Structure 1
Amino acid sequence: MAARPEGTPVWTDAMFTDVESAKTFYGDVLGWTFGESSSEFGNYTQAYKNGKAVAAVVPPMPGQDGEPQSAWCLYFASPDVSATAERIRGAGGTVLMEPMRVGEFGSMCLAQEPSGAVFGIWQGGTHEGFELEGETGSYVWAEVFTREPGKADDFFGGVFGYRSKTMQDGEMDYRTFDLGGDPLLGRMVMTEEFPAEAPSYIQVYFAVDNCDKAVEAARRLGGQAIFGPMDSPFGRYAAIQDPQGAVFAVIDVRTRVGEEPEWA
């Protein structure tokens, strides 16, 4: 597999205090199966769809302060994680976890952009990232939700060299970032509908065959729909909070309603 361009979303994982319950939840909602946990790397456990790696789950690190908050983390590709970390600092971001080697799998760091959203950087080794994308049960899209769009836009453009397009919609401040013309990431402004205490974050979307059935499965297992299901020109989608508090989205990209908006 050819190396993905720097700034391409390449992997996602989430921390859960109860990993077994998380495996049951995502196994039912997204049809995932799970490999053996790697005790050498904090019981990191990969999730698979049709035998291909799509995500991972992991318990909290020993000695972690306070009550850990479950959340999905999106990783962006880098050919040199240390160099990317320096650009993150130079663009006003914060490196939360310094670059570190993860055995032969690759190298990583965790960071926070100036408006508050946390993300990761991944320099692939034997683990290059997603083995399946855009198909049922796999990663398909992600969006930065922020109250300070100017800071987020400048940061991501500065670190990864993204170009951007803005949706021509008077009711919504929405932008996409791209490399070589291919949109890779969305940016949405958080409105008053979001709780005041909700921080900026990156929402990961997984593809499903039927959005409503995915929401029903999530509710049956103790999750809740915090937005949708809703039709759009891009697919029928919903944002879900799982029983441990992690938020993600599901989308049926084949069920599209309405005309795609104009961009500039």
Structure 2
Amino acid sequence: MAAPSEGTPIWADAMFSDLEGAQSFYGDVLGWTFGEASSEFGNYTQAYSDGKAVAAVVPPMPGQEGQSAWCLYLASPDAAATAERIRQCGGTVLMEPMTVGDFGTMCLARDPSGVTFGVWQSGTHEGFEKIGEPGSFAWAEVFTREPEKSDAFFSAVFGYDTQRMEDERIDYKIFSLGADRPVMGRMKMTDEEFPAEIPPYVQVYFSVANCDTAVAAAERLNGTLAFGPMDSPFGRFAAVVDPQGAPFAVIDLQTTVGEAPKMT
């Protein structure tokens, strides 16, 4: 398998104080099964869809307890070089590049607007084994109150091209690796829709066969519906917060309505 281009979303994981609760929730909502916890790596536990690795859950390390959140990792051929670029472009390296056995090298960082993300340099673990199918990663969006900072930062660090959506109602851009390879969206957080206590974050979208069914399962298991379900030219989607406070989104990529908006 060819290595993904730098800046490509490659993996997602989240810390949960109640690991069994998280497995039960996502197993029902997304149809995931889970492998054995790796005690050597802090009980890191991979999630699978149709036998293919799609994400992971892990208990918090001492001192990291708190609200859960999904972390999206972006591919890098050299995590140390990417970490240095992050610093040079005004970001903060939260965890210096760390080798994880022979699986690869990771680091955690924050953009100048406060958005936390990960960097992954693949070893034997090459990231998502399934993308865009039910139960797997589908899309991601950077939610920020300072879009100018995020736009400049991610473009400088990962070489993204940017296009703005022609929609007066929202401030939305697409980050792409070339004209035909969109990798992430960027949404401006407004005070009307996002209370001040909600920090900037990356919204991870997981594909589902039926958005409404997934939302119903999430609510039945004490998840909270934050937005939607809503039809769009890209799929029917909804934003959800799981019982431990981690926001994420589900999207049915097959149910599309309307024409895609123009980009400039």
The alpha carbon displacement at 1:69 in A equals: 1.7
- Number of aligned pairs? 262
Residue aligning to 2:93: 95
Q: Where does the alignment leave 5 or more consecutive residues of structure 2 unmatched?
A: none
What is the letter of the counterpart of residue 191 of structure 1? T
Select which of 160, 163, 183 maps to 2:161.
163
Give the TM-score normalised by the residue count of structure 2: 0.98
- Cα displacement string for residues 220-250 of structure 1 (whole angstroms, at most 9, x for unaligned residues): 1110111111111111100000000000000
Residue aligning to 1:32: 32
- Counting only pairs closer than 5 Å after superposition, residues 191-230 of structure 1 correspond to structure 2 as 191-192=190-191, 193-230=193-230
The alpha carbon displacement at 1:116 in A equals: 0.5
Where 2:251 maps in the other structure, the secondary structure is: strand
What is the letter of the counterpart of residue 104 of structure 2? G
The alpha carbon displacement at 1:195 in A equals: 1.0
- 1: CA distance, partners of 2:171 / 2:222: 32
The alpha carbon displacement at 1:172 in A equals: 1.0
What is the letter of the counterpart of residue 56 of structure 1? A
- 2: CA distance, partners of 1:219 / 1:110: 31
Tell me whether 1:119 sits opposite 2:117 in the alignment: yes
Tell me whether 1:108 sits opposite 2:144 in the alignment: no
Where 2:29 maps in the other structure, the secondary structure is: helix
**Identity across the alignment (%):** 69
- 1: CA distance, partners of 2:41 / 2:15: 13
> 4+ residue stretches of structure 1 with deviation over 2 A?
none
Give the TM-score normalised by the residue count of structure 1: 0.98
Where 1:257 maps in the other structure, the secondary structure is: coil
Q: Where does the alignment leave 5 or more consecutive residues of structure 1 unmatched?
A: none
- Cα displacement string for residues 14-62 of structure 1 (whole angstroms, at most 9, x for unaligned residues): 000000000000000000000000000000000000000000000011x
Where 2:167 maps in the other structure, the secondary structure is: coil
- 1: CA distance, partners of 2:197 / 2:114: 12
- 2: CA distance, partners of 1:46 / 1:2: 22
Residue aligning to 1:255: 255
Tell me whether 1:21 sits opposite 2:21 in the alignment: yes
Where 1:85 maps in the other structure, the secondary structure is: helix
Where 1:95 maps in the other structure, the secondary structure is: strand
- 2: CA distance, partners of 1:238 / 1:225: 8
- 1: CA distance, partners of 2:189 / 2:211: 23
What is the letter of the counterpart of residue 156 of structure 1? F
- 2: CA distance, partners of 1:170 / 1:246: 29
Select which of 132, 142, 146 maps to 2:130.
132
Residue aligning to 1:72: 70
The alpha carbon displacement at 1:137 in A equals: 0.4
Where 2:86 maps in the other structure, the secondary structure is: helix
Residue aligning to 2:152: 154
- Cα displacement string for residues 131-189 of structure 1 (whole angstroms, at most 9, x for unaligned residues): 00000000010000001000000000000000011001111110001002210000000
